Amino acid sequence: MNGHAIEVRGLTKRYGDRAAVEELSFAVPYGSIVGLLGPNGAGKSTTLRTIVGLLKPTSGDSLIDGMPFSALADPASHVGVHMDGFGFEGGITARRHLEICRLAAGAPRGRVDEVLEEVGLAADARRRVKTFSTGMTQRLGLAAALIGSPRTLILDEPANGLDPDGIRWLRRFLRGYSERGGTVLIASHQLAELEQVVDEVVVIKRRALFAGRLADLVTSDADSLESKYFDLVEGASA
């Protein structure tokens, strides 16, 4: 498929005199995994929340499948969202939580069992969410994002709380999702979480500092990827 799953165009979000994001532009091609990388406070979550209509931009805009999120007739089939800070009702089971998500998305009844299998929570479907570990909660959030069988996933720090096995599982899952034609925009403040899975990266610190392949950040054999990234974001503070 040609074109871009997500386009961000001159996006600015201000809170009074403070700019959380300023003149930010980038695109996410269909079928790719793109990392939105930057330190804490760089504007990553603000950008994601603006893309999916949770925040109104001060200026600029963003498109999903060529349209603003608010114009999507069936948004759950276009994009699934899991963001750091999205809450869960601890007293209900994982299955009940996903049933609520399924009804909201208009997905078929059998979709709950499918996504529980996809994220490895089938055996824990009847457990109450308050008994889940942080890593299991992350998997439940991913299951909720998948409930509408979306073409694109937008994920904010999805590896938080995952142990090394969980992080490896997440990488395999995202790569498989992409290989089946899905698109992923994944935000993280840790380079190590992204470098083994993304096709491209957008480094931001309010503005875009770099967009392209991670390998293109390194211009010399003497440079390491981590040091180059550090120099880039530190230079933006100067």
> What pLDDT does 217 receive?
77
CATH of domain 1-65+151-158+181-238: 3.40.50.300
Do the Cβ atoms of 144 and 172 come closer than 8 Å? no
Positions in the chain short of pLDDT 50: 222
Do the Cβ atoms of 150 and 81 come closer than 8 Å? no
Segment 77-133, tens digit of pLDDT: 999 999 876 678 889 999 999 999 999 999 999 999 999 999 999 999 999 999 999
Grouping H, G, I as helix, E, B as strand and the rest as coil, residue 105 is helix
> What pLDDT does 190 receive?
85
- Contacts for 141-145 with beta carbons within 8 Å, 24 or more apart? 141/82, 141/86, 141/88, 142/82, 142/173, 143/94, 143/98, 143/115, 143/116, 143/118, 143/119, 144/80, 144/82, 144/97, 144/98, 144/101, 144/115, 145/80, 145/81, 145/82
> What pLDDT does 134 receive?
87
Q: Domain ranges for the chain, please list them.
A: 1-65+151-158+181-238
